[in-house]
Amino acid sequence: MAATATAPSVARPRSIRSRQTRRSLLMSIAEHSLLIVLVVCFLAPFVFILLTAMMTNHQALSSDLWPSPFVPSNFVKVFEEAPIASYALNSFTYASLATVGLLLSSIPAAYALAVLKWRGRGVVMVCVLVAMMLPEQVTIIPVYVLFSKLHLVGSVAPLIIPNWFGDAFSIFLLRQFFLTIPSEYGDAARVDGCGELRVLTSVYLRLAKPAIAAVALFSFFYCWNDFFGPLIYTSENPANWTLSIGLSQFRALHQVEWNLTMAATLLFMAPVMAVFFAAQKVFIEGVTLTGVKG
Amino acid sequence: MSAAVAADTRARARTRAQWRRRRTVALLMAPWAIGFSVFFAYPLLASFYYSFTHYDLLSPPTWLGLANYEYLFKTDPQLWTAVKNTLWLIAVMVPAQVLFAMGVALLLSRARRGAGALRTIFYLPALAPIVAATLGFAYLFNPANGPVNTILSWFGIEGPLWLNGASTAKPTLVLLGLWSVGNLLIIFLAAVLDVPTTLLESAELDGAGAFRRFFHVTLPSISPVLLFAIVIGVIDALQYFTQAYVAAGVAQGGQAGESAKALGYPEGATLFYPIYLYEQAFGRFNMGYASAMTVVMLIVALALTGLILRNSRRWVYYQGETR
């Protein structure tokens, strides 16, 4: 009885294991080939955009995939065809001024919400969350009316100003990070006679550097890539077009010049990619922060 | 008597300290409070008011009562196209993006070598400015001589019209959405890597196969992130604008000039709710009607997020929670 019971159970592990190794080998081959296919699909658009950007105009309209001859001068020609430098300056003005204002107004609010105890804090937190969740378009019309009454439509000011008055998403993100800082650090500073503002600047700002860096990068990228805002506020005045508007119009003005359009597209992507590779760690950690704490 | 004086000064000091604290809070919250009132609370109320009026920005609003809403719900044929297209996004694009991001994250979490490089490759498209990514896609998929149809023709396949075809325009936008899914992917990857290995190992020892391990260990552990992804996805789908606007403009090509642009080219296939809202508000300057559209959008957004969050208790598992 016992022998018959043990015999198969001795034999089984080996056959299971060999079947399992074969299966896991097949699984691993399948997984890796799937990954390779996905990587190719993800990189291919960049490669084709780059190749097309270096074609002659004639070739870009054919079904050729490989440029011959290579025309890297397209990247220079783009600057002659459209005021790319001016677009870039407008984008940079928008992104940098908005980001500075966003940090100056959101950090104090996040600190008050995370560290200080006061009546009404819960209600305010709910307001921040609601403002964060709702689509930006639900408030766009009265805000537009407001800025048009102030005669600011046509400039980048309407894009920048709201950022100086706190951004819900940034406040939320920073608050979540401030909450992870042990209150003992702040208390120690208070015992030493620091006021709340000193505690914020000398304790919390220092400890929250990675989160602040992430928020700043997100804000900068959001503004740099923003299309809806600049479309509404600057389209009537080409002198204030940002890169996103300029590029979307570029194609309309240069109907069939796919090569130049792709070169301009790459020039638009380049700074973002460069910043990303320089600050990759901050970025990935920041993105992770939005999800895990959300 | 001295004790009473001391208590008095102490009480006064306490009130003073309390005032100082309140002042600090007021100071810290002031910019946000102004911004919230001027750029959020007031616009919500004003939208509500405008929605009952005819308003073209040039002359002051004139009261219409419920006329805007009546037209919106009963007559406007384009509105229903826009609503249907946006619902399509919620039903198809959001699940596609969430499942794709989760799937790739699971694959990446098992990759032994080059995990960092792979993560960067999959994240890169999300970094590309939306306008740039959309232009790139419009070129890749252009039916005349785009690389995609060229490659398909090598295999004897006649490529579809992609962004120029009424039935393929939205699926092409989904492909663009999958390509730029990087943010979600990183969030899922972090969550998957956070799944306690002890749980996975003990499940494996108990004889659970890969699928059971996924459904009984991994999936419950990442369910909060899944919920987050769905909520964010739905909100993003409601305000889906840039990709559709740019893609339709490029695909339409030939007939240049803003006025000649057919709305939601081709054949209304890309007429999403925000595109129509933009057209009403900033193309035709029907601020009153557009406000009615934003009020409806607000109610739908609140209802959808509320619905998702309320039902989440049934399937979202938070670590440390017992049930």
Residues of chain A in contact with residue B123, where contact means CB-CB under 8 angstroms, are 284
Is residue A70 situated within a structural domain?
no
In a shared domain, residues A146 and A265: yes
In a shared domain, residues B6 and B126: no
How far from each other are the two terminal CA atoms of chain B, in whole angstroms? 60
Scan for tokens 């390779």, then name that residue. A36
In a shared domain, residues B266 and B123: yes
In a shared domain, residues A283 and A246: yes
Distance from CA of B8 to the nearest CA of A (A): 24
- Taking only residues 134 to 163 of chain B, the set having a beta carbon closer than 8 angstroms to any beta carbon of chain A reads 135-137, 139-140, 144-145, 147, 150-151, 153
Answer whether residue A9 shows pLDDT above 60.
no
Q: pLDDT by residue (tens digit) across A118-157?
A: 999 999 999 998 898 889 899 999 999 999 999 999 999 9
Is residue A71 situated within a structural domain?
no
Q: Is the Cβ pair A112, B39 closer than 8 Å?
A: no
Q: Which of A227, A11, A178, A30 is nearest to B134 (CA)?
A: A227
- Is residue A68 within 8 Å of residue A181, measured between CB atoms? no
Is residue B210 situated within a structural domain?
yes
Q: Which chain B residue is nearest to residue A109, measuring alpha carbons?
A: B29
Q: pLDDT by residue (tens digit) across A147-205?
A: 999 999 999 999 999 999 999 999 999 998 999 899 899 999 999 888 888 899 989 99
* Beta-carbon contacts of residue A160 (< 8 Å; ≥ 6 apart): A93, A94, A97, A98, A101
| Residue B53 phi, psi (nearest 5) | -130, 170
CATH number at residue A194: 1.10.3720.10
From A140, A146, A287, residue closest to B186, measured CB to CB:
A287
Is residue B208 situated within a structural domain?
yes
**Residue pairs between chains A and B whose CB atoms are closer than 8 Å:** 253
- Which segments in chain B show pLDDT lower than 50? 254-257, 259-260, 323
B161: which DSSP letter? -
Angle at B243 between CA B93 and CA B132, to 5 degrees: 125
In a shared domain, residues B44 and B77: no
pLDDT at B168: 93
Q: Which two tokens stand for residue B26?
A: 């007021």
Q: Which domain holds residue B206?
A: 70-312
In a shared domain, residues A214 and A123: yes
Q: Which chain B residue is nearest to residue A40, measuring alpha carbons?
A: B121
Scan for tokens 């992804």, then name that residue. B229
pLDDT at A284: 78
From B121, B187, B245, residue closest to A43, measured CB to CB:
B121
In a shared domain, residues B176 and B304: yes
- Is residue A115 within 8 Å of residue B282, measured between CB atoms? no
pTM, two decimals, is 0.89
CATH number at residue B83: 1.10.3720.10
Residues of chain B in contact with residue A45, where contact means CB-CB under 8 angstroms, are 125, 136-137, 140, 179
* Beta-carbon contacts of residue B175 (< 8 Å; ≥ 6 apart): B137, B141
% pLDDT > 70, chain A? 91
Q: Is the Cβ pair A224, B145 closer than 8 Å?
A: no
In a shared domain, residues B106 and B12: no
In a shared domain, residues B15 and B82: no
pLDDT at A1: 39
Helix (H, G, I), strand (E, B) or coil at B137: helix
In a shared domain, residues A231 and A99: yes
From B28, B140, B305, residue closest to A108, measured CB to CB:
B28
Is residue A59 situated within a structural domain?
no
- Taking only residues 41 to 70 of chain A, the set having a beta carbon closer than 8 angstroms to any beta carbon of chain B reads 41-46, 48-49, 52, 61-63, 65
pLDDT at B244: 94
Q: Is the Cβ pair A48, B40 closer than 8 Å?
A: no
In a shared domain, residues A88 and A212: yes
In a shared domain, residues A242 and A144: yes
- Is residue B213 within 8 Å of residue B235, measured between CB atoms? no
Per-residue HEC secondary structure of chain A comes to: CHHHHHHHHHHHHHHHHHHHHHHHHHHHHHHHHHHHHHHHHHHHHHHHHHHHHCCCHHHHCCCCCCCCCCCCCHHHHHHHHCCHHHHHHHHHHHHHHHHHHHHHHHHHHHHHHHCCCCCCHHHHHHHHHHHHHCCHHHHHHHHHHHHHHCCCECECHHHHHHHHHCCHHHHHHHHHHHHCCCHHHHHHHHHCCCCHHHHHHHHHHHHCHHHHHHHHHHHHHHHHHCCHHHHHHHCCCHHHCCHHHHHHHHHHHCCCCHHHHHHHHHHHHHHHHHHHHHCHHHHHHHHHHHHHCC
Mean pLDDT, chain A, rounded, equals: 87
What is the C-alpha to C-alpha distance for residues B250 and B265, in angstroms, rounded to an integer? 10
Is residue B181 situated within a structural domain?
yes
Q: Which chain B residue is nearest to residue A276, measuring alpha carbons?
A: B127
pLDDT at A294: 37
Is residue A61 situated within a structural domain?
no
In a shared domain, residues A31 and A164: no
Q: pLDDT by residue (tens digit) across A248-267?
A: 888 666 666 888 989 999 99
Q: Which domain holds residue A26?
A: 2-53
Q: Which chain B residue is nearest to residue A120, measuring alpha carbons?
A: B25
Domain count within chain A: 2
From A166, A231, A291, residue closest to B32, measured CB to CB:
A166
- Taking only residues 191 to 250 of chain B, the set having a beta carbon closer than 8 angstroms to any beta carbon of chain A reads 191, 194, 210, 225, 228-229, 231-232, 235, 238-239, 241-242, 245-246, 249-250
In a shared domain, residues B44 and B117: no
Domain edge (last residue) among A53, A71, A88: A53
Q: Which of A52, A179, A77, A234 is nearest to B138 (CA)?
A: A52
- Is residue B219 within 8 Å of residue B245, measured between CB atoms? no
In a shared domain, residues B44 and B141: no
- Is residue A117 within 8 Å of residue A183, measured between CB atoms? no
In a shared domain, residues A119 and A154: yes
pLDDT at A291: 63
Confidence of residue A285 (pLDDT cuts 50, 70, 90): confident
What is the C-alpha to C-alpha distance for residues B143 and B150, in angstroms, rounded to an integer? 9
Confidence of residue A8 (pLDDT cuts 50, 70, 90): very low
In the predicted model, what is the mean pLDDT of residues A2-31? 64
In a shared domain, residues A114 and A11: no
B239: which DSSP letter? T
Q: pLDDT by residue (tens digit) across B103-135?
A: 999 999 887 778 888 988 999 999 899 999 999
The one-letter code for the residue type at B234 is V
In a shared domain, residues A111 and A195: yes
Q: Which two tokens stand for residue A89?
A: 């300056």
| Residue B316 phi, psi (nearest 5) | -95, 130
Is residue B318 situated within a structural domain?
no
In a shared domain, residues A134 and A263: yes
Is residue B65 situated within a structural domain?
no
Scan for tokens 């597209």, then name that residue. A265
From A61, A166, A287, residue closest to B187, measured CB to CB:
A287
In a shared domain, residues B158 and B22: no
What is the C-alpha to C-alpha distance for residues A262 and A102, in angstroms, rounded to an integer? 33
Cβ–Cβ contacts within 10 Å for residue B160, how many?
17
ipTM > 0.85 for the complex: yes
Is residue B320 situated within a structural domain?
no
Distance from CA of A17 to the nearest CA of B (A): 13
In a shared domain, residues B78 and B45: no
**Could you tell me the CA-to-CA distances from A61 to A57, A64, A202, B93 in Å, in that order?**
7, 8, 59, 31
CA A146 to chain centre: 28
Residues of chain A in contact with residue B230, where contact means CB-CB under 8 angstroms, are none
Q: Is the Cβ pair B24, A196 closer than 8 Å?
A: yes
In a shared domain, residues A16 and A118: no
Scan for tokens 């490089």, then name that residue. B117
Is residue B238 situated within a structural domain?
yes
In a shared domain, residues B75 and B43: no
> Considering just the CA atoms, what is the radius of gyration of chain A in Å?
27
> Considering just the CA atoms, what is the radius of gyration of chain B in Å?
27
ω before B125 within 30° of 0 (cis)? no
Is residue B219 situated within a structural domain?
yes
What is the C-alpha to C-alpha distance for residues A203 and A39, in angstroms, rounded to an integer? 43
Is residue A67 situated within a structural domain?
no
What is the C-alpha to C-alpha distance for residues A187 and A204, in angstroms, rounded to an integer? 11
From A45, A116, A288, residue closest to B140, measured CB to CB:
A45
Is residue A157 situated within a structural domain?
yes
Which of B19, B40, B54 to mutate to probe the A interface, most A CBs <10 Å? B40
In a shared domain, residues B234 and B276: yes
Domain count within chain B: 2
Sign of the torsion angle spanned by Cα atoms A185, A190, A191, A193: positive
| Residue A238 phi, psi (nearest 5) | -55, -25
